[in-house]
Amino acid sequence: MTSDNGTGRTYWRSLDHLEDTPEFREMVEKEFRFQPELAADPISRRSFLHLMGASVALATFSGCVPRRKEAKVVPYGDLPEDLVIGRATYYASSIGLGADVQGILAACHQGRPTKIEGNPTHQESLGKTGVHAQAEILNLYDPFRSQAPRRFKGMAGDKMYHTDTGATLEEFSAWWQSEVLTADAPGAGVGFVYRDDNSPTTRRLRGELARKMPGATWYRHDPANDEQILEGTRIAFGVRGRPIVDYSRPDVIVSVDCDFLGTETGHVRATREFTSRRNARVARQGVNRLYALESQFTVTGSNADHRWPLRQARLRDAVASLAARLGVAGVRDPGMSDARLETLVADLKTAATRGGAVVVCGRRVDADVQALVHAINDRLGANGSIVTVSPCDEFAANNLTTLLSDLEAGRLSTLVTLEANVAYDAPGGLRSKIVSHLGSVGRDKGALKRLVHFGRSFDETAMYSTWHINRAEALESWGDLEGADGRVSLQQPMIDPIFKGLTEFEFLSRLAGGSDEASTLVAMTHKLSTRAWKRAVHDGFVSSPRRTTTARCRVGDCVSQFAASVSNVDGMELVFALCPKVWDGRFADNGWLQELPDPVTKVTWDNPVLMSPATAKTLGTRDSGLVELTVDGRLLKAAVWTVPGMPDGSLTIALGYGRTGSGPVGRDVGFDSYQLRGDNNAWSAPVAVKAVNGFYEIASTQDHGVMMGDDRQIVQEVTSEAYRRDPQTVSTRIKKVNVPKSLLGAENKSLHAENPYDTGYQWGMSIDLTACTGCGTCTIACQAENNISVVGKDQVLIGREMHWIRMDRYFVTDKTEEEYPDTHPELEYGMGEEKAAFSTPDEVRMVHQPVACMHCENAPCEEVCPVAATTHSEEGLNDMAYNRCVGTRYCSNNCPYKVRRYNYFHYSKETPWAEGASWYNDWSAAGYSYEHVPEVKKLAANPHVTVRSRGVMEKCTFCVQRINQARTDSRGEGRRINSENLKTACEQACPASAIVFGDLNDFDSAVSSAHEDALGYKLLDYLNVKPRTVFQARVVNPNPSWKVPS
């Protein structure tokens, strides 16, 4: 055992390695431990926290707490007609992530947004959201984002001599006018690096600025780009754009490394469309069929009926074979001999003549392969119907390679970075060279003299800046966003910029010498009539049709540009993944996202190298072991996490971790995989891997991934075919195990009179496992709605995460028990051994199951609480009286679903930091007083939900605050609550509409029919706890002729 930071927390725990000797562990700790900056550093992490905390407090004292736009403040002496104190007001806006734009409604309490819902009228979201939109609230109230413009003197990048002299925006404008703009040739020697935010107004102002500064050079850098997709469309259709796939139409979908349910552009819409053909309601008619060809185990792969693990380098061959066998003229069949290919071709051909079939390609697939897929879709008749191509409007720019050569040639004296964090997320080879040039700012060497950094936070690039200007967050700014299909959504501020940040286009406008207000700038772009503008602001989008091209797919070009051969088919390959949580690293400071378990690996706060258990064995490493990855001579030491179902020899690592310049939440979390990324933001690379001594703890929320036998009856699956043949198949199966033989046919009589719970409202829930994709949006939505604390990596390691609704994930193979080798994974210590029992050729599937409090009618938790802190309401809710709870934790022990969460520390009072620092250690040592929470963080809390204190048990309440709100509303109108309009936070956010909540006493409600459904079953029914949540068995649609060669 070793203790951590002197806190005495011992760390020999689960998933691993009890046999590690203390000496070994100690050696590991010394060798591989991220230490905070040493005391010699003038701005140590802790003093930084201290200062930041204090400055936040000052900032909030200095005015009233952040307010609405000052010009519009009306005292409530003249109460606005629609405003009721204590009720949220909803405003439409939108949030973008690359070309992924979601319409939102932000719930505001007295001018403070606290929760984000999907905008029901917005075409991309239709009332649903993804995880990032849900987590946006925390981005807004992040006390560690940049709070003021700063001006630096001295040597860039040097913490000792790069000093902040403080400045204002006005001073910046004056400086820009005098130092940069006065040159004879305007803009000569000036370079702009931007990350495209897909805003038409920004694009317009870039153009304006470019006209004003004709000498300036523009560079674009986005580590999460869709470049291959755009190029593929260019080859196939002659226009750069994105294929927009209507997933609700095809019967058969083949995904070629396309995580369209997880990380691809438009995944919220895709999830909604895909699950509209795959849910319990349509299961009787048959569900669609999804094949996934991929290396990384993605969320999409986990929802596939058949998942074909293929190394990234083999995808090209697979697509070429498909094309050839489907009859795309001119494609040479590389001759992959796999029976699965024939099955795939046959199924695609059949489906194409019926409901439709489509092959989709992810952003990691090379452009020429993308083009060939367009040709296949042409062959399948999908183009124009299932797939439409939407051209994108781009601002011409150079790439980072050009930036480097310009820097090397000394052509740039001033560099302006617009949210492009090149010192962090540029590909490893370029990054070090660019950074060395940035280092010449403030030193008498090199051509680069000035660096203007515009960004949300004072990040890695800002360390080299002469000027830093802080950006405003989406919820506090005007703006417009153009979606992948060309339609424009509008943003409006919910709150005045808390730290007086500017939007990117405001900043560009100032650089161009303008001084227009943000709203004016947006309005000028769209040139709408006042009436149409008001309408657009109200709706959150500008009504317009999709932008589509009428160009036909040029199959000949697709085939001729396809490069058949590829090197490195046999060596180890490393695939880079966009993290479904922190994305490319921009959300690293968002604790909700950091702590959200990865949908597939269940890992929080880290990005380990993912590989198959067999690969790990070959390399001589295991879960939490360390490997050295070398790409082109660049080296990264990272921890290993095995994932059954990944192809051997293929490694995946997520981008966006290992940040050194983020706030304390994301700093030094995980491994900086950009270090290994090839120039041009390559998505995969041949890699040399070597296991090295060492151990790195990975905080996974689920240590066990097998369901431990059919008798437990946890996730029930049924094939579409079997369900059609016998709709009662699931309930028959459940009864077989759960009802003792002696009681078969007899009524289970209770000893005492049970409450029938048949009057008034009776709340219940149903969860459709067919629809659920496992994305985790419900978890974040719940966290935002219910003020759930983030606990930090060290607490997750101990097993104290607080999520009220968790996403359980189990691995499944369709082998019988006898077919397994003689292993007993159930008795092993952790996940590693269990996972090793899955051999690579097996088809490993995955099932997801969201689990929250089931509000059992015979709740075992209520019986054992000695102080009656948890009791049953007349409406069937299992209520928690936080004030009454003394914290014996007996309820948690007695909960068969283990959904109760305990405040082991005063989590709600402090922000836990990552890097293994203990929660309680930090608040005391960092100079935080016990009572101190940055004021700005408090603003994020939902005022309708109690913030829990230390020593108190908490759990899902079925969003009782929403029920009560609905009750108030219905009483006022003298009617019953319409349970169709009453949605819990998880239900409201779920893009798959898998969760349904409502009144079981209303026999017409969706939840009532789900409870009656033949697919419905109660988890652990045999305990007779009578849960109020019903799961609907997962209906899968495997192809009977699919055979995995052994």
State which of positions 693-712 bind other proteins (CB under 8 A). 702-709, 711-712
Judge contact between 587 and 459, C-beta under 8 A: no
Beta carbon nearer to other proteins, 329 or 868: 868
Residues from 671 through 690 that contact other proteins (CB under 8 A):
none
Task: Find the shortest distance in angstroms from Cβ 807 to other proteins.
Answer: 9
Task: Find the shortest distance in angstroms from Cβ 920 to other proteins.
Answer: 5
Beta carbon nearer to other proteins, 371 or 790: 790
Residues from 981 through 1020 that contact other proteins (CB under 8 A):
1019-1020
Among 149, 108, 115, smallest CA distance to 129 is for 115
Judge contact between 488 and 101, C-beta under 8 A: no
Task: Find the shortest distance in angstroms from Cβ 641 to other proteins.
Answer: 17
Task: Find the shortest distance in angstroms from Cβ 705 to other proteins.
Answer: 8
Beta carbon nearer to other proteins, 671 or 923: 923
Beta carbon nearer to other proteins, 11 or 820: 11
Task: Find the shortest distance in angstroms from Cβ 708 to other proteins.
Answer: 5
Beta carbon nearer to other proteins, 714 or 722: 714
3-state SS string for 390-414: EECCCCCCECHHHHHHHHHCCCCCE
Among 248, 555, 240, smallest CA distance to 386 is for 248
Residues from 852 through 891 that contact other proteins (CB under 8 A):
860, 863-868, 884-890
User: CA-CA distance, 753 to 797, in Å (whole number)?
Assistant: 44
Among 801, 810, 903, smallest CA distance to 848 is for 810
Beta carbon nearer to other proteins, 665 or 865: 865
Interface mask toward other proteins for 23-62; x: CB under 8 A: ----------------------------------------
Interface residue with other proteins among 13, 443, 500, 535 (CB under 8 A) is 13
Task: Find the shortest distance in angstroms from Cβ 955 to other proteins.
Answer: 11
Beta carbon nearer to other proteins, 231 or 828: 828
Interface mask toward other proteins for 718-737; x: CB under 8 A: -------------------x
Secondary structure of residue 194 in the 3-state scheme? strand
User: CA-CA distance, 976 to 979, in Å (whole number)?
Assistant: 9
Task: Find the shortest distance in angstroms from Cβ 704 to other proteins.
Answer: 4
Interface mask toward other proteins for 287-326; x: CB under 8 A: ----------------------------------------
Beta carbon nearer to other proteins, 54 or 707: 707
The tokens describing 677, both together, are: 């990324």
Residues from 809 through 828 that contact other proteins (CB under 8 A):
809-810, 824, 826-828
Residues from 539 through 568 that contact other proteins (CB under 8 A):
none
Beta carbon nearer to other proteins, 325 or 806: 806
User: CA-CA distance, 121 to 103, in Å (whole number)?
Assistant: 8
Q: Is 951 in the site for other proteins (CB under 8 A)?
A: yes
b/e map 916-941, b = 16+ CB within 10 Å: bbbbbbbbeebebeeeebbbbbebbb
Only one residue has tokens 């403080």, namely 166
Interface residue with other proteins among 323, 960, 1025, 1036 (CB under 8 A) is 1025
Q: How many residues bind other proteins (CB under 8 A)?
A: 77
User: CA-CA distance, 26 to 819, in Å (whole number)?
Assistant: 41
Beta carbon nearer to other proteins, 836 or 885: 885
Judge contact between 196 and 171, C-beta under 8 A: no
Neighbours of 40 (CB within 10 A): 8
Residue 211, classified by CB atoms within 10 Å of its CB into exposed (0-12), middle (13-18) or buried (19+), is: exposed
Q: Which residues contact 742 (CB under 8 A, 6 or more apart)?
A: none
Beta carbon nearer to other proteins, 401 or 949: 949
Q: Is 5 in the site for other proteins (CB under 8 A)?
A: no
Q: Which residues contact 130 (CB under 8 A, 6 or more apart)?
A: 100, 102, 267, 268, 775, 777, 991
Judge contact between 465 and 441, C-beta under 8 A: yes
Task: Find the shortest distance in angstroms from Cβ 1033 to other proteins.
Answer: 17
Only one residue has tokens 């979601």, namely 102
Longest dimension (CA), the chain: 97
Span from 1-9, 275-283, 330-338, 720-728 in contact with other proteins (CB under 8 A): 1-9
User: CA-CA distance, 292 to 302, in Å (whole number)?
Assistant: 9
Task: Find the shortest distance in angstroms from Cβ 810 to other proteins.
Answer: 7
Q: Is 18 in the site for other proteins (CB under 8 A)?
A: yes
Interface residue with other proteins among 950, 967, 976, 1026 (CB under 8 A) is 950
Interface residue with other proteins among 2, 5, 14, 970 (CB under 8 A) is 14
Span from 25-33, 171-179, 461-469, 943-951 in contact with other proteins (CB under 8 A): 943-951
Judge contact between 114 and 88, C-beta under 8 A: yes
Residues from 885 through 924 that contact other proteins (CB under 8 A):
885-890, 892-894, 896-898, 901-906, 919-920
List the end-to-end C-alpha distance of the chain, in Å, as a whole number: 43
Q: Please name every residue paired with 849 in a beta bridge, in sequence order, or none if there are none.
A: 808
Task: Find the shortest distance in angstroms from Cβ 351 to other proteins.
Answer: 35
3-state helix vs strand vs coil in the chain, percent to 5: 30, 20, 50
Q: Is 8 in the site for other proteins (CB under 8 A)?
A: yes
Beta carbon nearer to other proteins, 226 or 801: 801
Beta carbon nearer to other proteins, 6 or 974: 6
Task: Find the shortest distance in angstroms from Cβ 158 to other proteins.
Answer: 39
Beta carbon nearer to other proteins, 163 or 888: 888
User: CA-CA distance, 137 to 475, in Å (whole number)?
Assistant: 8
For 649-715, the DSSP string reads TEEEEESS--BSSS-TTTBT-S--GGGGPPGGG-SEEE-EEEEEEEE---EES-S--S--SGGG--S
Interface residue with other proteins among 99, 283, 416, 952 (CB under 8 A) is 952
Task: Find the shortest distance in angstroms from Cβ 879 to other proteins.
Answer: 13
Task: Find the shortest distance in angstroms from Cβ 880 to other proteins.
Answer: 13
Among 607, 575, 581, smallest CA distance to 593 is for 581
Interface residue with other proteins among 829, 872, 967, 1042 (CB under 8 A) is 829
Beta carbon nearer to other proteins, 2 or 173: 2
Phi/psi region, residue 24 (left: phi>0; alpha: psi -120 to 50; beta: rest), is alpha
Beta carbon nearer to other proteins, 551 or 864: 864
Interface residue with other proteins among 243, 774, 830, 912 (CB under 8 A) is 830
Beta carbon nearer to other proteins, 609 or 734: 734
Sign of CA dihedral 349, 351, 354, 357: negative
Residue 71, classified by CB atoms within 10 Å of its CB into exposed (0-12), middle (13-18) or buried (19+), is: exposed
Residues from 762 through 781 that contact other proteins (CB under 8 A):
none
Residues from 792 through 811 that contact other proteins (CB under 8 A):
795, 798-801, 806, 808-810
Q: Is 751 in the site for other proteins (CB under 8 A)?
A: no
Task: Find the shortest distance in angstroms from Cβ 389 to other proteins.
Answer: 42
User: CA-CA distance, 776 to 799, in Å (whole number)?
Assistant: 18
Beta carbon nearer to other proteins, 602 or 944: 602
Residue 766 carries which DSSP code? E
